[in-house]
């Protein structure tokens, strides 16, 4: 009887052992892992291409009013064509995050970089645009792009627009000019776009030291000679000039560059050059009898 029960129990365990196959469980687990990995892999592969981003690359911190401010930015994401991207600016801040439904017209920004406001542009792409800002003050700005009828915005930044001024600078001048010969001077007048009527190099044997203010006219100085090339004309600033002057008398000379801009006198610092008599070489002659 005991032998029969033992045999029956052994056969039951054998059937139970045969009905459980560990390899089947391993394949089931492996299949689940493959499905999970595939799902996350597909999401990782395609998710980045459904997200667009505008990024400010470079912008000035300060510009004189009326001069050009240059901005560089990018629009990244899946390859597509957009019709508009710009830097939107204004004197009033628009804080917080702007949604994809926020249009530029819904903001307080009043100025924009127009270069790519209307066209056909294949992104991803980097853009460089320019604008002249009309008023002195702190401007707030964001980069904007319209992609697939959605509005994408960068964070808000700011720059200062400061009062404009003009600058006269000496580029090149001789250290020595032979008496009776011509000396060549090169200089620049820079600043916001305007037209000037006169600019010159003024020089003389007497110094006019110190800093010369905008109220100081050439006749108020000790300089008695000048480069006449541009004393009467119409010249678009910014511009570079090259002028010539003959120095008649030897000696030590003092000089400055001057420009009359919008009724105000702009001067460089004072520089010097020397004028010396240069002996012309003479050809030796000899005579003799044959």
Q: What domains does the chain contain, in order, with CATH numbers? A: 51-162 (2.60.40.1930), 167-276 (2.60.40.1930)
What local confidence, expressed as pLDDT, does residue 18 receive?
53
- Residue ranges of the chain with per-residue pLDDT less than 50: 1-7, 14, 16-17, 44-49, 286-290
What local confidence, expressed as pLDDT, does residue 278 receive?
78
Q: Please state the pTM of the whole predicted model.
A: 0.54
SS3 letters across the chain:
CHHHHHHHHHHHHHHHHHHCCHHHHHHHHHHHHHHHHHHHHHHHHHHHHHCCEEEEEECCCEEECCCEEEEEEEEEEEEEEECEEEEEEECCCCCCCCCCCCCHHHCCCCEECCCCCCCCEEEEEEEEEEEECCCCEEEEEEEEEEECCEEEECCCEEEEEECCCCEEEEEECCCEEECCEEEEEEEEEEEEEEEECEEEEEEECCCCCCCCCCCCCHHHCCCCEECCCCCCCCEEEEEEEEEEEEECCCEEEEEEEEEEECCEEEECCCEEEEEECCCCCCCCCCCCCC
Tens of pLDDT, residue by residue over 15-33, are 544 555 666 667 667 667 7
């Amino acid at each position: 009887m005991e032998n029969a029960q033992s045999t029956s129990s052994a056969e039951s365990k054998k059937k139970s052992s045969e009905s459980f196959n560990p390899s089947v469980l391993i394949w089931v687990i492996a299949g689940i892992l493959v499905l999970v990995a595939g799902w996350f892999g597909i999401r990782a592969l395609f998710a980045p291409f459904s997200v667009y981003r505008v990024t400010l690359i470079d912008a000035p911190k300060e510009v004189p009013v009326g001069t050009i401010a240059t901005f560089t930015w990018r629009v990244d994401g899946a390859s597509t064509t957009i019709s508009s991207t710009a830097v939107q600016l204004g004197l009033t801040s628009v804080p917080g995050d702007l949604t994809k439904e926020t249009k530029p017209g819904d903001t307080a920004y009043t100025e924009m970089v127009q270069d790519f406001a209307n066209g056909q542009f294949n992104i991803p792409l980097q853009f460089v645009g320019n604008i002249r800002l009309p008023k002195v003050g702190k401007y707030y700005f964001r980069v904007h792009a319209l992609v697939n009828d959605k509005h994408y915005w960068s964070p808000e930044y700011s720059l200062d627009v400061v009062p404009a001024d003009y600058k006269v600078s000496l580029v090149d001048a001789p250290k020595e000019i032979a008496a009776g010969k011509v000396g060549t001077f090169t200089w620049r007048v820079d600043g916001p776009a305007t037209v000037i009527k006169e600019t010159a190099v003024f020089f003389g044997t007497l110094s006019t030291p110190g800093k010369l203010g905008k109220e100081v006219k050439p006749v108020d100085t000790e300089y008695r000679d000048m480069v006449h090339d541009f004393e009467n004309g119409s010249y678009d600033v910014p511009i570079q000039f090259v002028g010539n002057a003959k120095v008649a008398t030897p000696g030590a000379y003092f000089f400055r560059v001057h420009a009359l801009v919008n009724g105000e006198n702009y001067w460089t610092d004072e520089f010097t050059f020397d004028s010396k008599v240069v002996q012309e070489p003479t050809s030796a002659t000899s005579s003799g009898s044959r």
